[in-house]
Structure 1
């Protein structure tokens, strides 16, 4: 035994790498894949069975509810018919005595009863069987009780609460369902109670429930008393395939039906086929609603998968035998270049990229893709290092700006408040309002409690700014906003809109003239918040516009050149791109002498928003 083990290890050691890989793939991939595939197919069979039973349970429950609903329609129709008291009284009276009275009955009470029947498409006939020797049988709705069979059925109706259903009517009931109800009248003496019968054809009563000709389940309504009486669609695929075995299938299922159970499926065997049945008992009808499915049909798909798995596995083994030997040599030769580059990067040489040797437009195989991703990763590392440095500089500048702004801030606020009160005392409301706007602007600019603010706060600051500018320069600047209420609470970076409005005020409005600034906000594609600030001012010179657009389309890691107020268009654009990526930032469109529109785009997800 030890000699055999040594010989096997020696053969394995002397085998080529391609042979070892083929053996490893066969043992570790192909064979387990077959086992896992077969286990997976078994799991799928189990899951398919559970899903089929769940679907069948749902379908049979819906059929049960539909049957009960349709039975309720018949019961309501019978109750409506019994409300015609004059009709009931007349058929219990002497109908042969007065011809004029009979004519009036035909024109009034009988017509009303006939309308009740005609108004319900489910009712094919409605008849009264009256124990009255003077009844006039000139209409199919009124008969003497002697025409009813079985004669003593009224006692069973009495014992069952006054009404009962028959899946197959007593008279001509092969394709008809009947609902029987006692008509109880006072003072009948020894006469038998009147019975009302409502007949409904099976094709109408079960219409839409048993008409499907395909599907996995075959629906049947079985009589609870007689195992040989069923209602089903003979054109269904299941019925056509069962052929002469249909009676054996239905009989075997009927023997296992239980009025107290109904949630668990029944399984019966007929010949070499197995069948599942799900059912519900309909007590008033004394019938079972049954859905039947063939086990072979349910599992037909998974059974075919077994042959497919075997064929695919053999094909894969053959391909591995042919390709492993060829590919291993190329793989290891190209992997060496990757390892050499990794060692250089580990020593700090971030420019040690892998020479791919691919022509323009070529993508290569998985190793080439790995090398491309590796080169891209080196580029991203260098870019991220640059962005981290820029962000740290921005954070320091913002911190210094905030500290500088807070110096003597309380002194300035108190001074402004004192001047405002003096203006109020001297009855100068315009000056007082301007001071309120100025104080709001200073407070908003100096107090940086958080890096983001609600869109409504930014908009309020812009309104204060426009009001103050109108007072200072005597201009007529109109500010309009179209922002849905659900967006006003959305967090946006502070001071990302005010510099754009300031730019529109200083450069868009003609000297001594007016300008209208419109601010709107929308969510596009459920992913981007888009804010548009548009003015109808002078517009931008085409050359200047081209320069601005070129700057805004540059890389986000290019140096930030601050504008006069330190938060210009380019500054806002660069900050947005640094924090939210290349998809965010500003876009400017303008037509000289007509309009200027600046569009702000940022992610529509508060959780992903950072601040300045």
Structure 2
């Protein structure tokens, strides 16, 4: 297939598809769902049809070009074989004409020939030359030109060199030392004077010229075998057929169209004069210029256009002539039929698309009726806030299900609105109740304050301190402003708790706080230390042990802080520790699990830490039986009062 036509077709196809897709996407952006569905439905059918049509026409184009190429290559090769056959005949005829010793002697001996010798030559030798001419009907003439003034002319084969036309190519042919020279020229049909009709009639010949040399290598004359051009190459110089779509040329292989400026008519002139076709009217100068730029090697093909019409050129090298046989094929006819088929197919596809569009629009209008109703109902609810709207439902399809779900949603919204109203009323009632409790708590605070003053008046200072700690604990518990507090507040609350517990246990519980001021602003969950300290006093202190000490310290590690609460109690066994740690890992805690006595408080703290900060935070339990128990709270490094990182003081974490 010609490369330029294929490249132009692909480029045009890509550009057309891209422009169509871009325009379609822009137009569909603001279209309704119905239009989009119609376009999608048509596209699902149109794209395969178009692709199949493009593939079909591409294959048809390929097959058409292949058929044209094969057919015209056969014509070209047939003509080339015919030319080679004629050249071989002319070469063999010329060789046979000068291979007879009697003929060479007659042409080269520079002595006067007697009458008997001339008669014998005419009777015995000359008939062989005539037989050679008559046995090759395509050969027009066998002419022997001699420079020997003693040789007599014998019509129609033996002539004196003076009868040769005065042309520069003759001198070139004479100097080739026996090598063959091919030339196309116009000349008279007869070289004899007195043949007026034949002298005036000029014939186009393809001539073979070869020098005749005498003994010693001296020039003795020329042998010429010629053939009429219409017989030498019928498809180039014969009478053209009016309905053919090709035209043949014989072009010289060198850069010029002729070998000599003095030649009366060049080969390209003869080709122009003898091979005109009604289907192809390309100037020979344009063909020759195009051929010189496209020829590569002994044979090939190229495509070109002239006056917006496509053509295919195929050429073959003619050995011996140093010329090329060129066949120019007009593609407008075959490709025109192909374009007509393509246009008819495009028209059918366009009509099919139009018909499908009408049917699709009607069907989608019926199918999407329920969806339009649902859209209008949603718009009314959004604009008017009418949640009591009853949406009509048609059929049992997906859109009807959407209408049912939307109706159920409206009903649910109405229920939620009513529930929200009830909750608001309940919240107001709870607010009143909290205000009542606040009044009650103030009454308790005032009562504890009065009892503290009475204890100080009676000089019961331990009782006064216990009432102060109890009041502080009550305020800390009842005033719940948020889930997180500073570690300072939790430590103060633990100090009050231990102070109250020391009243009961006769000051046998010691509390040691090893925390720097920076750690005091650490963020903590409220009431997360009291369950740990309470477990330590309740389960870690034995009645036989005195005194009992609880130590609180912090150890920073990268982005976390480990807050450790350690006692010097009886510790726990490894089995019980594992049971408690397994219980902390569960999502729910059963207080009646074997071995879990005392773990519920730890579980609650662990779950609160994990829920607040993440699964990597919580509680770790370590114990040395008979010596100590350590509960470690793993917390993120967050501070309540400062946004920047603190320069924590180094703490010995053990």
Normalised TM-score (structure 2): 0.41
Larger radius of gyration: 2
